[in-house]
Amino acid sequence: MFSPTQTPFAQNPTRGILLLVSRVILGLVFIGHGWDKFTHTGLDATAVQFEQAGVPAPAVAAFVAAAIELIGGILLVVGAFTWIACVALAALMFGAFFFVHRGNGLLIENGGWELVGALGTACIFLALASAGRYSIDGYLNDDDDRPRRTRRRRRSS
């Protein structure tokens, strides 16, 4: 039965697919940003940008940010340690908001916080929702997106 106050995806087979697509897209965005810091822009140039923004220990912060984005993005794509990766990525996005974007308004064209806000919020929601059925976390935790009363019980050996 339809309810405007309850999502139809809470106990729905499409939930796992929607979480998979969301995880992969979000993960690819973070992989792209982390990879860019390591290869195209480079850690030295990223450290200079961080120093200009007032980030403490900019060389260390550049490496840590790139590593969190790259490794966290990979973890999101495969759905492993998802909530931990999401918390780390959301914290990183909060740091980007605080040090770089908060004084520039909303729109990214003016250096605003819309992208880091959207990415950080997506990470928070994904951490709360779980990785879903089609993930390493889901496999290890028997997350099959069906109501608990209809799940098969695992037999202990």
Calculate the CA dihedral of residues 19, 21, 22, 27 and round it to 10 degrees.
Answer: 120
User: Is the model's pLDDT at 125 over the cut of 60?
Assistant: yes
Whether residue 148 lies inside any domain: the answer is no
Model confidence at 12, in pLDDT bands (50, 70, 90)? confident
Top mean-pLDDT range of 12-21, 53-62, 101-110? 53-62
Judge whether 134 lies within some domain: yes
Q: Is residue 46 part of a domain?
A: yes
Say how many CA atoms lie within 13 Å of 83 toward its Cβ: 7
Instruction: Dump pLDDT digits (tens) for 82-95.
Output: 999 999 999 999 99
Per-residue pLDDT for 32 more than 90? yes
Domain limits for position 93? 14-142
Residue 106 lies in a domain: yes
pTM: 0.85
Instruction: Read off the pLDDT band of 149 (50, 70, 90).
Output: very low
How many domains does one find in the chain? 1
